[in-house]
Structures are given as structure tokens and as C-alpha cells.
Structure 1
């Protein structure tokens, strides 16, 4: 594997047609990062987001929540969808773009479908992202079903690694530092598995919305 632009990693499956939607970052990294195998992408799949041949389980870790108290990331109710994203509030490009695209896709859904999607955002910058800071940041995206989660950096890094999301501690934390991390948005269904993930730079808002609606319709993720 090798890093591509913006720190993304690509890996090709045996047929050479699959793109691995793996680590990306708000600052670049020069090391290989964990990735997931992808079964299909684009026109070969019913979904615009790549479908994982080896779905991830739920992220590890217990977090302090913007909803109050502590919690772990849980599977949604049957037929619903939970999105998990690792990012941070001081990110100046990829994180707000990802959240804005999720918000735009979510707002275009019917009200009943909106209520069936939850969004868990795990900070990759626990030194600055307290729960009040995350709550304020998330409020700007008009996603009432979103929750911000923070913990020790060790917990966050291990949580990301458990689902193929690389999170790196900044070497220099002076000034307005950036944090290298994976940008994939994982889509969890009621079986507690992420069968699909998205990189918003690879899909349009319309495609993201269509994928959300298709998952909520009960269509197989394949």
C-alpha cells in the first residue's frame, strides 16, 4: 500500500478493481495505515460508498458524551443507521466538509428517515475538544441526532484502530496544530457491523443521501 493525496491509502483487491477507503487526514502521514478490504465500488455496486467484504464490529471504548455521562457506541435499532466519524473541531478542511455533507444529505431525507439516523463523532483531539466544545461545533451542522464523544487519547487511538481508522498523536502540539486521522464515515446497522463506509471527497451529497435512504429501506448492502 502507499499513501495517496491527502494521506489516503489505496489497496487493490485481486481483480484490481477495488479501492480501499482507509486512512486520510487533516495533515499528511508517511506511514502505512490499516485498511479494510472492499468488495465493490461505484457502478458495480448498488451503493456509491464502498461495501466492506470484512465488516467492522462496533468501535471499542467508553467515552464522555455531549449528551451527558459516559457511553459506548452501540448498534442502532433494527432498520436504522448509525454513522461513526473520527474528527476534530480545529480541523480546517476535511472534518467540517465531511460533517457538512452528512448534514446536507440528512436534511434532504424525509422526516421519518431523518429520525432513524444517528451520528457519533469521536474526537481525535481530546486535548482541545471538551464536550462543551464539541457540542458547540456539532450544533453548527444542524444534526440534532449527532453526539460528540471524547476520552483519553489512548482510548481514542485504540478505538479507531479497532475499526481501521488511523489516529496519530501530533508530534508538535504548539500553535493551531492539526491531527492526522482517517476520514472514512462508517455505516452501522442493527447487527452491530459496519458493512459500508464513505469518503465524502469520493461521493456527492446526492449519492450519500441515496445510500442512506437505501440502507434505511432494508436493501442488502452489497
Structure 2
């Protein structure tokens, strides 16, 4: 099953698709799964399916729909990786946040789940931070978010809990950026940072070469406890 839900934009002048995984019975809450630069690919859908198995309504909006609806890339295929990088360069992040906000509204008003969190990876990790700062989402988690040092000016607007997972050997997030994140956020009452020594970008992907099982399991257990506390 691929994209199976239609969500109207905030302006109501268009709509986009999402992948929705539903739990058995009443959801504990809802979690928006924010894609990497590779689209709502099998790995992201697997994240949704796992969350649904744990009792959450999981929704992964197609944030690249303005560029090309329904794209899916494999990060282990070099040509697809380069195409994904190109699409990230063209992606309007502010519009993406508005689409995430539209997804929050759709979950609350149409799907009938009041408590909504988000978890994002790579580009999605950055967008999870932006969602925490720009929307009323109840809780947010970002894995290896890129360029968050450039968003620290928005930290005052983070009103609800945010957790960030930071691999210390991230090839896309260098030591200076990591240091700036810690200096800017360690004393924030709503933000928790976890470092993963010696690990690289993408360590918590569901499939492929980048995954590190032990670290992914640890990070995902922290995420699960975080959502249980703040969305349960």
C-alpha cells in the first residue's frame, strides 16, 4: 500500500497525499512521520507501520508533492541519492511546515485524534524542530536534523517538548554545528538532546547500509518513552 489519505492544504486551494497506518482499536494518539529527502519510501512507511503496531495513528505526508507527487528514492542507489539531494535544494521548507500544520489539523479535525506528535529524520529532523517552533504540535522528535544551528533564533517559540538525536560523526552535521546546538539548547526547559558517539547520519533508518541496530534500538526506545509521556 502506498499513499492512501488526502489532506487539504491550509489555504484549502489544493490537497496532497499521505501514507496512514492505523492501529487496532482506538489510537493512543497520532504521530506524524516526517520524511527524509527520499520521500515517503518503504523505510518511512515501515516507520509508520511499526508505530501503528504500538497503538499510534501514524501519518507520513508527501512533502515533495509540489515538486513531484509520490516520489520514492533508495539512499543506497547513488543516482537516486543525487536526485534526492537535488530535490531537497528545490524544496520550500516554509511551505513544508505549512503542510505539516495542515496535517496536524486534518488529524485532529477529520481523523479525530486530539494529541499529535511528530518524528522526523534528516531533512525531517530539521522540519521536526521547525514544527516544534512554529506550530502547536504536542511533542516532536528529530533524528540527525540538518542545519539546526541556523534555526536557534526560533528556540524561544518551542512551547512543547522536543527531543533531538545527534550522532557525533554525522557527515552532514559537523562538530561546530553540534556544539552550537548544545550551547543553544542544553538549558532549554522543553528540549532534550541525546548524543550517539561515533555514529553517522542515518543510523536509525529501517533498512539499508546506514542502519546501526544497537543505536537505532536505543534511540527508538527513548522516542517511545518520550511519546508515551507526552502524548499518552
TM-score, length of structure 2 as denominator length? 0.29
* Structure of higher RCO (CA pairs closer than 8 Å, 6+ residues apart): 1
Larger helix percent: 2
